[in-house]
Amino acid sequence: MVARNKLLGNYGWVQNTSNLRTIIRTLILVPDHGIRHLELRDKIKQQRIEAHDLPRRWEWDARCRIKAIHALGLVKLNRYIQGYELTGIGQKLKEYEASGLRGENVALTEEEKIILKDGLLTNPPVIRVLSLLNEAVGKPGLSKYDIGQRLGFVGDVGFTHKDPSIIAQLGRSFNNQEGDADKWARTILSWLVQIGWAIDAGERDFSGQKIKLYAATGEVATVLRYKAVRITRNVPAEMLCSNHHAFPKLIQKRRSLILQELGQDVCTIQKLIERLRAENINANEEICKFDILNLQNAGFSITYDGGYYKLTDRIELDSPAQVVVENDSLNTIESLIQTSVVKFDMVPPRLVDHLIRFGYDGEMGTEFEGIVAEYFRFLGFDTEYLGQGRGRVTDILAKYIDQTYARSYGLIIDAKATSGRYGFPASDKRKMKEYISLHGPQLMVERIPHHAFSFVSSKFVDDISPHLDEIERDTAIKGCAISVEALLVLGNKIGQGQIRITELYNKFASQGLFSVS
């Protein structure tokens, strides 16, 4: 079967092509007059054959290399030929390389670094990573997971993130346990190290495993303040949403229109709504705020002042000439994520996304346990994730430890992902009683005198009292049922300073639905 020549579904985000020398070698394959996508793919294959280095998944590898030369601003899309042409930066680097081809493992020259720095600044995700590193100056370094949690599009299954503390507690390796956003972060960090904008900042320990940390070099603050603002970002519509989304073309077009409008002048939400509706795209305040937040997470500089938004970046927006989109509605979960990210703005957006996405899916029990553990850590608890194959133990222990012994308390948590309403089956109640018998004495040894049990799920059946009362009667320990929404409300109130975890023990021991409203 002959492959059809066409552009890829996504650009701007790259994984597993971290060696800048490899990217330069790929650039050299692009002729001055441009090249069709399949021709470049085949040239990459031939280059690897000649180097006796053709991987089994060579087509996937070729796609990564093509995305990399585009993400570094060395080529731009040529939609007419469904391929690529050199940019001014790419032409300059290619001419420099003509002076003498360097080996795969040869260090970059200073001239190469200067050119590549200009190319990197055309990529919004690189700007986002640089900004996060710059914000952390004077603090412990950031890992790929720290950056991955805050990089890319919330509510998009193509931008997942994993919690390193959960990975470590499960005894898994940081080398092969990453979400997609963590992979993008890892690749960009590697580029920044090679050109001198990031350095090794030591390691962080997670349950005996070490993970690398990175910090910005002194040059970065000046680059962001003066140089980055002068360089035009290369923005194909395909970078504005992954093709794993249910409606990628719709989201890409919607965000393209928002960027166009924000780039023209200061703009209100109402004006954005009118522009989108004029293009027959459903829009409201929630949708617009959600997209603005996501564009900021992707590296676009969008300011807000007194009800007015403004894109301060220079961008070259590259959209297909004709985009036909079906104005479909998001499914219930995607819609709930969108609403909640805007509503609970004191909670990190990706935590909101994962708490809802996993909690409302009965097939994602393991993932839900992990995100609940991460969420209680975000709330300020000392959290242990004990689930997944460790015998008859609870999923999560969350501890508040106060200098005053009598104020300390511990929570024995069972996380239950479900697409319906959780109904407290007899086996789960029996297990919770066992968990209390096991972990209660352990908490006492740690000088934590007050204990409560908690079931966490998306929603619960109407009458929960008999189930909670049975557990209290048999263990003398009180507890509660916590919905995903209640957790989000709690996180928002803690973020706003309206409540502190020091005050919450009685809420967790309420023998009813947990609520702080």
For residue 59, the domain's CATH number is 1.10.10
Of the listed ranges 90-94, 320-324, 373-377, 412-416, the least confidently predicted one is: 320-324
pLDDT given at position 1:
52
Q: Residue 328 — very low, low, confident or very high, per pLDDT cuts 50/70/90? A: low
Report yes or no on 335 lying in a domain: no
Task: Give the model's confidence band at 503: pLDDT under 50 very low, under 70 low, under 90 confident, else very high.
Answer: very high
| pLDDT for 331 | 72
* 389 — pLDDT class (breaks 50, 70, 90): low
Same domain membership, residue 502 and residue 378? yes
Q: Name the band, by pLDDT with cuts 50, 70 and 90, for residue 379.
A: very high
Together in a domain, 89 and 192: no
Range 392-400 average pLDDT: 93
For 149, phi then psi, to 5°, come to: -65, -25
Q: What is the pLDDT of the chain when averaged over all its residues?
A: 92
| Average pLDDT score over residue span 380-390 | 82
Q: Are residues 392 and 436 in the same domain?
A: yes
241 and 223, same domain (yes or no): no
Decide if 7 is inside a domain: no
For the chain, the domain total comes to 4
What's the rounded mean pLDDT across residues 323-349?
81
Q: How do residues 260-295 score in pLDDT, each as one tens digit? A: 999 999 999 999 999 999 999 989 999 999 999 999
pLDDT given for residue 501 in this prediction: 95
pTM for the model stands at 0.88
Question: Of 180, 147, 195, nearest to 299 (Cα)?
Answer: 147
In this prediction, residue 169 has a pLDDT band, given cuts at 50, 70 and 90, of confident
**Contacts for 86-95: CB closer than 8 Å, 24+ residues apart:** 86/30, 86/32, 86/34, 87/119, 87/122, 87/234, 89/115, 89/118, 89/119, 89/122, 90/27, 90/30, 90/119, 91/32, 93/24, 93/27, 93/119, 94/27, 94/28, 94/30
What's residue 487's pLDDT? 97
Residues 225 and 276 in one domain: no
Whether residues 83 and 151 fall in one domain: no
Q: Identify whether residues 128 and 29 lie together within a single domain.
A: no
Q: What is the pLDDT of residue 315?
A: 96
CATH code assigned at 297: 1.10.10.10
pLDDT above 80: residue 103? no
Q: Are residues 354 and 280 in the same domain?
A: no
Averaged pLDDT, 168-195: 92
Instruction: State the pLDDT at residue 326.
Output: 57
Residues 246 and 211 in one domain: no
pLDDT at 324: 58
What's the CATH code of the domain at 160?
A: 3.90.241.10
Q: Which domain holds residue 206?
A: 124-229
Q: Are residues 428 and 442 in the same domain?
A: yes
Of 229, 261, 277, the residue that ends a domain is 229
Q: Is the pLDDT of residue 102 over 80?
A: no
In a domain, 337, yes or no: no
Same domain, 287 and 431: no
Domain stop point among 204, 229, 254: 229
Which of 261, 293, 316 lies at the terminal end of a domain, its last residue?
316
Question: Per-residue pLDDT averaged across 76-95, rounded?
Answer: 96
Q: Is residue 437 part of a domain?
A: yes
SS3 at position 61: helix
Q: Model confidence at 142, in pLDDT bands (50, 70, 90)? A: very high
Residue 321 lies in a domain: no
Residues 20-74: tens digit of each pLDDT: 999 999 999 999 999 999 999 999 999 999 989 898 899 999 999 999 999 999 9
Domain membership of residue 11 (yes or no) is no
CA distance 213 to 227: 26
381 shares its domain with 301:
no
